[in-house]
Every structure is written in C-alpha cells, then in structure tokens.
C-alpha cells in the first residue's frame, strides 16, 4: 500500500488527501522520496548521451516529484499547525534535506553537464524562457558551491547542514516563547478596552484553557491591547514580553543561535570568493550591491526619523497631560497615537472594526481580482489540514486556474506573521499543473471575526502574493509564480494593498456586521485621510530593522549581534520610544532561513515600484482600467522569473521609478 504522504494527490482539483495523512507517515515517506530523487539525479548525471537541454535541464525540472509532494504537505503543517511530533520531525528533516541538496549541487558529473550546456548556450537554439532556466540553473550550482573542491567543498556541506539545524531551532524557540506566554486579565483590567478586544481576549483564554481572558503574543491581540488599555503597567508587561521573544534565557534563547548563523554565513560567502554575505546575497537581487540598499534606506530614514521625533513630542505632551512625568516609552506609543488619531481624524478603531468583517474583506479581495483579471472564486467543501481553513476553486472563463486556501486565525500551533506559499506551483512542463496556493494569517478569532484596518491590509497583501502564483503562465515550475528576486517579490503584494484604499471597494464591502449598512461616507473619508497616520513610527521601526540586517551581513560577522544591533541603532539616533519592528532574537525573516537575510530592505525596494505602478492606474483615471490591468498581468503577474525584474517592470511602466513616489506615498514629503 502506498504511503499516503507519498501518494499522488487525488483530492478534488489535485489537492492532497489531508484526511488520510498522519504524522507517522512523514518519516518513511521522506526516506522513500529521497531515495527516488537520488536515483533520478544519478540517472541524469550518469547519462552516456551528450548533454542536451532536454536530457539535463528538463530532466532536472522533472525530477523530485515525490519529494515535492511529501515536503509540500509537511512544511505546510510545520508552519501553520505544528505539534511536538512535527517539530521533532522538522529538526530531523532539516539537516538531512540540506545534505541531500548539497550532494546534488556538489555532484561533479551533473555540474559538468550543466556547465557544458552553459558554455554552448548560444548554439542550442533555446527559447527565451529556456535560456533563462539554463542561466538560473548554472548560476544556482555555482552559488551553491559546485565548483569547490576538497576541504572547501566538505566545509560548505557542513555549513549548510548546520544552518538548517539552526534555522529550525530559531523558529521553534520563537514559537515556544509566543505560545507559552500570556497575560491573565481580571475583570477590572478590561476597563477601557473595546468589546472586540475583550471578545478576542476571552477567546484566547478559552483556547488556552484559562479561567478568564488573556492577552497573548499574537500581533492581532497584543497590538490593540497596547492601543486601548489605559493600564500603563499592563501595557509595559505586554510590550516587554513582545520585545523579549527569543531573549528570555534558557533553552529558547536565540541570541547565540543568531551569532553562529552570522558567522557561518560569512564563512560560506568567503568560501565562494565574496567579501561579505551581503555581497554574495545581493548579487542576484535588483539592488545588486549593499551600497545601493543603504542608499535607499538612508534616503528614507532621515525624513522618517524627523517625522517620528515630531510625533513623539506631541505624544509625550499627551502623556504629561495624564499626569505622567517620565519620558514617552515604547509601551506608550500605540496608546497615545490611537488617542491622537481619534482626536485629529475623529477615527476610532473600535468604531471602524464592525465595518471590517473578515468575510467581507475576503469578498473584497476576490471582487477586485475579478474586476481586474476576470477571476472567479467558488467555495470548495474538501478536507483540509485544520478546521479553520477554507478553500476556493479559482476559475476564469470556465477554465480551472488554481485552488486557493485561506488559513486566517491565530492559534498556538501556528508561527507568527502572515505568509503565502504554494504547495504546488504552476507549470506546463512536463504536463500542465495548476497551482495550489495558501494564505496564512494570524487574525484574532471571533464570532464574527472583525479586522483592524492593518489586518485588512495584510489580507490584501498576502492575496497579492497569491495572485502572483494564480496568474503565473510559464513553462517551468522553477521560474513560476513568486520565483523572482527577493526585492521584486513584494511588488505584487504591496501593489494589491492599494485597492483596499479605493473608495468604491470600501463603499461596497465595508458594511456593518450587525446592520449591513455601508460605512458612512464621513467615516470612509476619515479612513482614507488617516492612511498615512503614524507613518514616521512605522517607517522608523521598519528601516531600523532593515539597516540592522544589512549591518549584520555587510562585513565581518559580529561576535555579539546584540552589541552590533545597539551600535547600529545608536548610530542612527533611534528614537527612544520606538523599538525595532523585529529585534534580533525574534527576527525570523533573517534567521529562520536566509530568504530575507541581507534582504529585509526588499519590502521598501518593492514599495518604490508599487507606488509608481499604482500611479499608472491613477493616470489612466480608473483604478480598474482594463488596459493597465492587462499590462500588469502580461508583464509582471504571469511572467514569474522568466526575465530580469528590471525588464519586466520597464515593460509594464516604460521606465524604472525613483524613490520620490515612495516618500510621497508615505506622506513623508509634500505631495
């Protein structure tokens, strides 16, 4: 009998049969899948025929199907619905997978075949897409260390395996800190909190088996608590716990892990001939080099810091009006900024939330995709990996395009943050396959579930990533969907956020949870007018994190990352009352894996483009302009990594943008 975790996916529209797979299936499935992939690689490398694109590059594209199935299900569960068994499996799988893929990249016979094709590339009569896949395959082998020999080759394998272990440990430590901490609230502690926060706290208490309401370290719960609780002592306890994740001492402390990761990354880069890990990492991104990243971040830092310091003076005056003589602290910012927004914009989060029901915001995201790209979404009744999940079939003109899965609610088994992943990517080789795309968020559960405006923006952001997968239309899965440069991948997601601010979208879908009435026009106007409220704070906390990330990797690795972090922040003149968005011990973007290492800046790099890209629709006079929407799909959303990102963006917009659109979009300079 075939192992259910290894079997072809036979659910509706090619979904995995989650209902038949148990945790006990994964280890033997991985063993079999690794052996199968090893056999496929050996057959390619040992082919006695001269290398061709078909028998080498396309053969590599075809290989590993069983392994992809096993890992597609396993890592979905490990990130979104972990348990002790899955965590133990992840600790075992990570170094083994690193060794497996390292063995492929160091297979000399295989690399010789790829290098031979690369040397003869001009004579192979390849399509543009095939030439791109060959280039990326050859570059991937070289950057993985395929040209290394002897001790250097062996050391590279050791480094990769150790980094895989450390990344898994970092993630699991962070999950443990977030899962194990809670702040119990007595009934008196609920005073001043809006009903939606109280309901969410009670729901969190029920989920954790507590006798009453609790505040957890889910962002969707702790942020509104910091915004609304008049109890400064409780706000301080909550903020300090949030800031201390990964730095509480004991088995879950991530500080030594961070130091070792940075040292190993530097060693890895130097083995490959680069002067720093940042130089190695950024070579294949749009930025190309660390100095270009620093130039962008510093261009934004100065106006953002000036705005934040001016805001801090206003908030500190409000603090003193409340009879508190000390300085404004990080646990005060959200509270007084929220009060200030109510005063200056007459906009109260508690009054706004009933208009932002999760169901209606999902409908809004789908409706925009329908108007722009003709996509339709039909609910599916299928077994998924958790009862909170839901699924839709995505079609266009009656043609099946994808399956989209939404997993929206926070829970103790889910890592923090929000992300989009594809259990299966789009491709037409070796046969046509439609993507299976998942959006994972951490919204507070409620009946009904109500979102903050930031939550709604997150939903649109992740759905923008999903559209990049759904609308992909390339031949090879290795370049489909979001398989693009890291500082280009956030363009579709951040661009999609703009449609949440289109008045007619909110007019239709921001309806009151009880009455069904549309959001009043004056409230809608206030929401849009306040879109850039507190941008000084938000930009400073983000840019500080991006600059710390860059400083970690642009030069010798620091022996004490916390000291380097403090040094960077002091050099920037970091405002006292603002913390980094992601301090080192919980900076999962950078330390859980190396996807965003030296690359946390990429959100802002992409924002330079997304502000300019949405301006194309504004210039057309219609946020749903058919010609602009078709161009966006044709040049960016459907093309994956089939061309260099600069070429894709220029094809869409006619030029590359400057930073001015970003600064204006954030309200940091006069429009």
In a domain, 654, yes or no: no
In this structure, the answer to whether residues 235 and 302 fall within a common structural domain is no
**pLDDT tens-digit map of 71-122:** 999 999 999 999 999 999 999 999 999 999 999 999 999 999 999 999 999 9
Distance in angstroms (rounded) separating the CA atoms of residues 320 and 653 = 50
| Three-point CA angle 304, 619, 671, nearest 5° | 25
In this structure, the answer to whether residues 263 and 320 fall within a common structural domain is yes
Q: Give yes or no for a contact between 316 and 327, defined as CB atoms under 8 angstroms apart.
A: yes
| 419 three-class SS | strand
Q: What's the helix, strand, coil split of the chain in %, to 5?
A: 60, 5, 30
Give me the half-sphere count of Cα atoms (radius 13 Å) on the Cβ side of residue 203. 20
In this structure, the answer to whether residues 200 and 228 fall within a common structural domain is yes
| Final residue of a structural domain among 244, 260, 295 | 244
Question: What pLDDT shows up at residue 671?
Answer: 52
Domains: count for the chain: 3
Distance in angstroms (rounded) separating the CA atoms of residues 425 and 481 = 7
Place of tokens 């680069």: 274
Distance in angstroms (rounded) separating the CA atoms of residues 407 and 385 = 10
**pLDDT tens-digit map of 390-415:** 999 999 999 999 999 999 999 989 99
The CATH number of the domain holding residue 314 is 1.10.1370.10
Kindly tell me if the per-residue pLDDT of 417 is higher than 80. yes
Question: What pLDDT shows up at residue 347?
Answer: 84
| 270 three-class SS | helix
Q: What pTM did the predictor assign?
A: 0.95
Compute the chain's Rg from CA coordinates: 25
Place of tokens 């022996």: 559
Question: What pLDDT shows up at residue 343?
Answer: 92
| 593 three-class SS | coil
Catalytic choice (129, 203, 462, 607): 462
Closest CA to 499 of 612, 375, 365: 365
What is the spatial order of strands in the sheet that 436-443 belongs to? 376-380, 390-396, 399-409, 436-443, 419-424
Question: What pLDDT shows up at residue 641?
Answer: 98
Question: What pLDDT shows up at residue 162?
Answer: 97
| Mean pLDDT computed over every residue of the chain | 96
In this structure, the answer to whether residues 595 and 571 fall within a common structural domain is yes
Structure tokens at 474: 């390339």
φ, ψ dihedrals at 348, nearest 5°: -115, 125
In this structure, the answer to whether residues 111 and 20 fall within a common structural domain is yes
**pLDDT tens-digit map of 23-72:** 999 999 999 999 999 999 999 999 999 999 999 999 999 999 999 999 99
pLDDT > 90 fraction of the chain, expressed in percent and rounded: 94
DSSP string, 116-181: HHHHTGGGS---HHHHHHHHHHHHHHHHHTTT--HHHHHHHHHHHHHHHHHHHHHHHHHHHHHHH-
In this structure, the answer to whether residues 96 and 205 fall within a common structural domain is no
Question: What pLDDT shows up at residue 661?
Answer: 79
**Can you point out the beta strands (E) in 346-497?**
376-380, 390-396, 399-409, 419-424, 436-443
In a domain, 517, yes or no: no
In a domain, 399, yes or no: no
In this structure, the answer to whether residues 231 and 328 fall within a common structural domain is no
Kindly tell me if the per-residue pLDDT of 173 is higher than 90. yes
In a domain, 539, yes or no: yes
In a domain, 485, yes or no: no
Helix axes 108-119, 26-45, angle to 10 degrees: 50
667 exposed, middle or buried (CB, 10 Å; 0-12, 13-18, 19+)? middle
Average pLDDT score over residue span 280-287: 97
Residues of the domain holding 268: 251-347+535-600
3-state SS track over 59-98: HHHHCCHHHHHHHHHHHHHHHHCCCHHHHHHHHHHHHHHH
pLDDT band at 567 (very low <50, low <70, confident <90, very high): very high
Question: What pLDDT shows up at residue 6?
Answer: 96
Neighbour tally for 654: CB within 10 Å:
8
Question: What pLDDT shows up at residue 349?
Answer: 82
In this structure, the answer to whether residues 17 and 66 fall within a common structural domain is yes
In a domain, 340, yes or no: yes
Kindly tell me if the per-residue pLDDT of 161 is higher than 80. yes
Helix axes 561-572, 255-271, angle to 10 degrees: 90
Kindly tell me if the per-residue pLDDT of 377 is higher than 80. yes
Structure tokens at 248: 């509480």
In this structure, the answer to whether residues 298 and 229 fall within a common structural domain is no
Q: Give yes or no for a contact between 265 and 594, defined as CB atoms under 8 angstroms apart.
A: yes
- Within 8 A by CB and 6+ apart from 287, the residues are 293, 296, 487, 601, 605
Longest distance between any two alpha carbons in the chain, whole Å: 83
DSSP string, 454-513: HHHHHHHHHHHHHHHHHT---S-GGGSTT-S-HHHHHHHHHHHHGGGG-HHHHHHH-B-T
Closest CA to 374 of 359, 395, 393, 391: 395
Distance in angstroms (rounded) separating the CA atoms of residues 50 and 328 = 70
Distance in angstroms (rounded) separating the CA atoms of residues 201 and 173 = 24
| Final residue of a structural domain among 147, 168, 202 | 147
Q: Give yes or no for a contact between 400 and 393, defined as CB atoms under 8 angstroms apart.
A: yes
| Final residue of a structural domain among 558, 575, 600 | 600
Q: Give yes or no for a contact between 202 and 215, defined as CB atoms under 8 angstroms apart.
A: no
**pLDDT tens-digit map of 303-349:** 999 999 999 999 999 999 999 998 999 999 999 999 999 999 888 88
The CATH number of the domain holding residue 70 is 1.20.1050.40
Structure tokens at 484: 């693009």
Question: What pLDDT shows up at residue 446?
Answer: 85
pLDDT > 70 fraction of the chain, expressed in percent and rounded: 100
Distance in angstroms (rounded) separating the CA atoms of residues 210 and 212 = 6
Tell me whether residue 462 is one of the annotated catalytic residues: yes
In this structure, the answer to whether residues 89 and 19 fall within a common structural domain is yes
In this structure, the answer to whether residues 135 and 191 fall within a common structural domain is no
Q: CA dihedral in degrees (42, 46, 47, 51; nearest 10)?
A: 100
Kindly tell me if the per-residue pLDDT of 129 is higher than 60. yes
Question: What pLDDT shows up at residue 660?
Answer: 84
Cα 580 from chain centroid?
A: 17
Question: What pLDDT shows up at residue 666?
Answer: 85
**pLDDT tens-digit map of 249-282:** 999 999 999 999 999 999 999 999 999 999 999 9
| Three-point CA angle 586, 582, 562, nearest 5° | 70
């Amino acid at each position: 009998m075939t192992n259910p975790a290894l079997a072809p996916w036979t659910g509706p529209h090619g979904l995995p049969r989650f209902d038949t797979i148990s945790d006990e299936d994964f280890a033997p499935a991985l063993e079999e899948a690794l052996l199968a992939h090893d056999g496929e690689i050996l057959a390619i490398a040992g082919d006695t025929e001269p290398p061709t694109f078909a028998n080498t590059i396309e053969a590599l594209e075809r290989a590993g199907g069983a392994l992809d199935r096993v890992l597609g299900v396993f890592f979905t569960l490990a990130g979104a619905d972990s348990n002790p068994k899955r965590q133990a499996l992840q600790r075992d799988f990570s170094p083994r997978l690193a060794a497996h893929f390292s063995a492929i990249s160091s297979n000399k016979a295989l690399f010789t075949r790829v290098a031979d094709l690369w040397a003869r590339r001009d004579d192979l009569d390849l399509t543009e897409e095939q030439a791109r896949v060959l280039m990326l395959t050859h570059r991937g082998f070289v950057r993985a260390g395929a040209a290394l020999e002897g001790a250097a080759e062996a050391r590279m394998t050791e480094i990769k395996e150790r980094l895989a272990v450390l990344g898994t440990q970092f993630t699991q430590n962070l999950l443990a800190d977030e899962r194990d901490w809670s702040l119990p609230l007595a009934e008196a502690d609920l005073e001043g909190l809006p009903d939606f926060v109280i309901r969410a706290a009670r729901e969190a208490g029920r989920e954790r088996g507590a006798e009453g309401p609790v505040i957890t370290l889910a962002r969707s719960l702790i942020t509104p608590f910091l915004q609304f609780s008049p109890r400064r002592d409780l706000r301080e306890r909550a903020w300090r716990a949030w800031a201390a994740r990964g730095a509480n001492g004991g088995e879950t402390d991530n500080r030594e892990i961070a130091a070792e990761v940075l040292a190993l990354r530097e060693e890895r880069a130097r083995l490959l001939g680069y002067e720093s890990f940042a130089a190695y990492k950024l070579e294949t991104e749009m930025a190309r080099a660390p100095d270009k990243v620093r130039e962008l971040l510093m261009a934004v830092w100065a106006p953002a810091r000036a705005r934040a310091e001016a805001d801090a003076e206003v908030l500190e005056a409000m603090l003193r009006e409340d009879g508190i003589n000390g300085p404004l602290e990080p646990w005060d910012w959200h509270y007084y900024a929220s009060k200030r927004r109510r005063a200056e914009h007459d906009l109260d989060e508690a009054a706004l939330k009933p208009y932002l029901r999760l169901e209606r915001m999902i409908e809004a995201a789908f409706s925009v995709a329908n108007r722009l790209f003709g996509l339709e979404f039909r609910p599916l009744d299928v077994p998924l990996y958790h009862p909170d999940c839901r699924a839709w079939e995505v079609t266009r003109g009656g043609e099946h395009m994808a399956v989209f899965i939404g997993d929206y609610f926070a829970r103790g088994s889910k890592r923090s943050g929000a992300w989009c992943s594809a259990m299966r990517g789009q491709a037409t080789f070796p046969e046509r396959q439609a993507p299976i795309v998942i959006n994972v968020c951490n919204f507070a559960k409620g009946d009904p579930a109500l979102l903050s405006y930031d939550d709604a923006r997150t939903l649109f952001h992740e759905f923008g990533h999903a559209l990049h997968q759904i609308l992909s239309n390339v031949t090879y899965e290795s370049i489909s969907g979001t398989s693009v440069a890291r500082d280009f991948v956030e363009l579709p997601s951040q661009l999609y956020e703009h449609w949440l601010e289109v008045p007619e979208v909110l007019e239709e879908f921001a309806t009151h949870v009880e009455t069904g009435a549309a959001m009043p026009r004056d409230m809608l106007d206030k929401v849009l007018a306040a879109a850039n409220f507190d941008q000084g704070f938000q930009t400073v906390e983000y840019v500080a994190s991006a600059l710390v990330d860059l400083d970690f990797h642009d030069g010798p690795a620091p022996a004490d990352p916390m000291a380097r972090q403090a040094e960077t922040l002091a050099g920037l003149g970091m405002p006292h009352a603002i913390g980094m968005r992601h301090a080192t011990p919980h900076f999962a973007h950078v330390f859980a894996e190396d996807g965003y290492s030296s690359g946390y800046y990429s959100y802002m790099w992409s924002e330079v483009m997304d502000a300019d890209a949405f301006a194309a629709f504004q210039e057309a006079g219609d946020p749903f302009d058919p010609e602009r929407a078709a161009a966006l799909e044709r040049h960016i959303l459907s093309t994956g990594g089939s061309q260099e990102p600069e070429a894709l963006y220029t094809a869409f917009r006619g030029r590359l943008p400057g930073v001015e659109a970003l600064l204006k979009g954030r309200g940091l300079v006069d429009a």
